[in-house]
A and B are shown apart, each in its own frame.
Chain A
Amino acid sequence: MSVIYVLLIISIIIAVAFFIAFIIAVRKGQFDDSYTHSVRMLFEDELIKEKSKKSIPTKKD
């Protein structure tokens, strides 16, 4: 046995693992909507801002 077989097996296992990950992602519908996520990921900032607003309600009234 040569080391080449070990390397081949490892490389194919890694490739197949990524391929399976891809199939699972498609099956879960991660590729169905390619736009909303790009907007949604920016919302984290807004939520923090809202909390700070909440803490000083007396100022406004």
Chain B
Amino acid sequence: MKHKTCFHCGLDCESSPISFDSKSFCCNGCKTVYEIFSVNDLTSYYDLQNAPGATPKEIEGKYDFLDNEKILEKLLEFNDDKTQIVTLFIPHIHCSSCIWILENLNKLLPAVITSQVNFGKKTVRITYKNETLSLKNIVEFLSRIGYEPYISLEDFKTDKTKINRSIIYKLGVAGFAFGNVMFLSFPEYFQVDGFWLEKYKPVFRWLMFAFSLPVVFYASQDYFISAYKGLRSRILNIDVPLALGIAVLFIRSTVDIIFDLGTGFFDSLTGLVFFLLLGKFFQQKTYSFLSFERDYKSYFPIGITKISSEGKEESIQVYDIKKGDRLLIRNEELIPVDCILINGKARIDYSFVTGESETVSKQSGDKLFAGGKQLNSIIEVDVLKSVEQSYLTQLWSNDVFKGNKDDAFTTLTNRISKHFTITVLLIAFVSTNFWLLTDASKALNVFTAVLIIACPCAIALSAPFTFGNLLRIFGKKKFYLKNARVIEQLAKINTVIFDKTGTITANKETTINYEGLELSTHEESLLKSTLRGSNHPLSRALYTLLDKHNIVTLDTFQEHTGKGIEARHKSDYLKVGSAPFVGLTTNVATLNTTVHISTNNTYKGKFTFHNAYRKGLSKLFNALKKDYDIAILSGDNEGEKDNLTKLLPTKTKLLFNQKPEDKLEYIKYHQNEGANILMVGDGLNDAGALAQSNVGIALSENVNVFSPACDAILDASKFNQLYHYINASKSAIKIVKWSFMLSFLYNIIGLYFAVTGQLEPVIAAILMPLSSISIVIFTTIASNILGKKLK
């Protein structure tokens, strides 16, 4: 028989008998979504893509804060009496079906006027009539059809950031001027001496001058600003010779046409700026759906339910939480502040904070830390600290998060530029002096010609095109870099540090060992039947391990939270859970997670849960150990030490019980000793270490889910390729160096014309695009070959 999968979300639904309209579904949630769509004639949703949906989650009461006027105001883009516009971030947007259903939202909700999806950003912009529909209705409806919007504290900003489109404008201006100036220069390229050209020459020349004005004063202003900043801090960055070149080109050309000395170099000038901006534009590859600047704000909710002294529930903003307030936390809600549990059973998932997926049970009176997610029923808590003062959020007051890594790093291009600028200026002065002695009339001509031809356009383009292309290639391999600088940094790494939980271990998988007396088939089937009724993660993991057994109907079944389960079937009595619960009195101090079994009050044995390490881990470490120092910083105890020492190369340093600050300090200490550190982590507890390291890579099982601030995000499935990615970055540096050589060659040819005083505008106009384009072709081909080698 064919394997049955859910028609809506594609999950396995072998065990669930829900079917509707002769289609099978994994749960009632998926079925409901299908019903909603089929009633509204929107089943084309399923034609565009197979099983495109997501299972809707329980959301009751979660969005009550959207009734709060103050919060609403901050979220809405536009708001008047009749219409409201809102942009919602929906992480589930992943295929054309998603676009289709969300843009047909008005068929489901008549009050919606339009909705427009931005696939790259995974957002939908909804315009609706607010007389009949509120934002809360929309959000709840979207959640019900499996498109739950993600609303976090980050959305709670007073001013929406404007999209910066200046690079496109500048590129447009430069391209427009370049094309027109080229046309206008044509008559004089062909040197048609005679009456016609003599008569109209000034018109053409002044038109070219007019076209070049916006290029010099608008499109290329970034280069002048950057060069000025560089000079002020005594750095000869690449923009210094570029700005010098642009300025000299413009002044010389203007002088030329005023005194009728020649055509000027307006064509080269506009072309130069156009190509430079093109390089800049190309390098600016951004992954709009990823954010590399996240702090705790992206994880935290905007509103939370407060219970007032009279016992009433009201939604308040997270920033308004004060010490002593009583809060209500529902299932799946995040705890925003440090607090004490008062009422209810807490099962907290700290995976946001630690990367550890196992949940922790807490009793009334226990302290709960901000960042944990409640996974059980409703709990009530008393607030101990406000948001900014909580344990987790305090990490962000560390100075590491204030500095900008980019400022401290000198790029390869800028290092070359220093020597290059000095050499060019030297050549310019020497040749000018030579001409002053031989033919003084040509001296100024030669001086400007040297500066024009030596303008390092090709050099400035080498790095943007190589790195920009590699950035794209990496992106296709699910390795997302923040910017091109990261590639250069990655090539200089000499130490690699890993976090343990969630980074070198897989979150979802664990391996389980059994030690003790062998269980009979009957006992195993009894155990399986017992575990079946429990929702505890350990029970679920054990349940999946013990397949191939018949399920028996239990006579009694009782779950003791935090202890274990007891069950009775006919004459057999079974206990599963912690050591004291099953009646094991001997001290069994073990650092690993264990589950003990006893039947009919005799102790049988224990199941030990080990972390499952990611595929290719030892291979990766053995490859890395040749060139790098490796260390593991773990926030966990030493339970896995033996396993790790067996698995990893002997020189790997292993450090356990590391707090977030310890990790940060460790990296700082080694950086002061001259190490260039690559940190690979995943949870918010690594955020400090990721920010401090030279390159911080956040490993993510699902890149749409949130990861801490970092330089790069790596998909977990590509973890074992890390070594090859570092090597590719090193090769990219080599490609840039080769293209530097190529552009020096062009400069030498150009300088020959310049120094000998025979630089015609037409030569400059040919040489400049020729060098730029050949560099672009060279770097693109070379980096594509590099990308082919990557898996």
State in angstroms the CA–CA spacing of A27 and B117 once bound together: 19
CB pair B169–A26 under 8 Å, yes or no, is yes
CB pair B100–A36 under 8 Å, yes or no, is no
Q: A22-B172, A46-B44, A46-B48 are in contact. Are A8 and B119 (CB under 8 A)?
A: no
What number of A residues sit within 8 Å (CB to CB) of B? 29
Taking CB atoms and an 8 Å cut-off, the chain A residues in 33-51 that contact chain B are 33-36, 39-40, 42-43, 46-47, 49-50
Q: Which of A34, A43, A47, A49 contacts B120 (CB 8 A)?
A: A34
CB pair A23–B96 under 8 Å, yes or no, is no
Cβ-based interface call for A59 (8 A): no
Q: Report chain B residues within 8 Å CB of A53.
A: 41, 43
Q: A12-B180, A49-B47 are in contact. Are A33 and B120 (CB under 8 A)?
A: yes
CB pair A50–B119 under 8 Å, yes or no, is no
Q: Which of B41, B42, B118, B163 contacts A36 (CB 8 A)?
A: B118
State in angstroms the CA–CA spacing of A23 and B179 once bound together: 16
Give the tally of cross-chain contacts (CB within 8 A). 66
Taking CB atoms and an 8 Å cut-off, the chain A residues in 1-36 that contact chain B are 2, 4-5, 8, 11-12, 15, 19, 22-23, 26-27, 29, 31-36
CB pair B119–A15 under 8 Å, yes or no, is no
What number of B residues sit within 8 Å (CB to CB) of A? 27
Q: Which of A22, A23, A32 contacts B118 (CB 8 A)?
A: A32
Q: Report chain A residues within 8 Å CB of B96.
A: 39, 42-43
Cβ-based interface call for B165 (8 A): yes
Q: Report chain A residues within 8 Å CB of B99.
A: 36, 39-40, 43
Q: Which of B42, B43, B100, B119 contacts A43 (CB 8 A)?
A: B100
Q: Report chain B residues within 8 Å CB of A43.
A: 96, 99-100, 103
CB pair B169–A8 under 8 Å, yes or no, is no
CB pair B100–A35 under 8 Å, yes or no, is no
Interface on B for A, CB 8 Å cutoff? 41-44, 47-48, 96, 99-100, 103, 117-121, 163, 165, 168-169, 172, 176, 179-180, 183, 200, 203, 207
A-B contact pairs, 17 of them (CB 8 A): A4-B200, A8-B203, A15-B176, A15-B179, A22-B172, A26-B165, A29-B163, A32-B163, A39-B96, A39-B119, A40-B117, A42-B96, A43-B96, A43-B103, A50-B42, A53-B43, A54-B41
The 10 closest A-B pairs by CB, nearest first: A36-B119, A46-B44, A33-B118, A39-B96, A19-B176, A35-B119, A50-B44, A35-B120, A26-B168, A22-B172
Interface on A for B, CB 8 Å cutoff? 2, 4-5, 8, 11-12, 15, 19, 22-23, 26-27, 29, 31-36, 39-40, 42-43, 46-47, 49-50, 53-54
Given A11-B183, A46-B44, A46-B47; 4 other pairs, CB 8 A cutoff: A12-B207, A22-B172, A31-B168, A33-B120
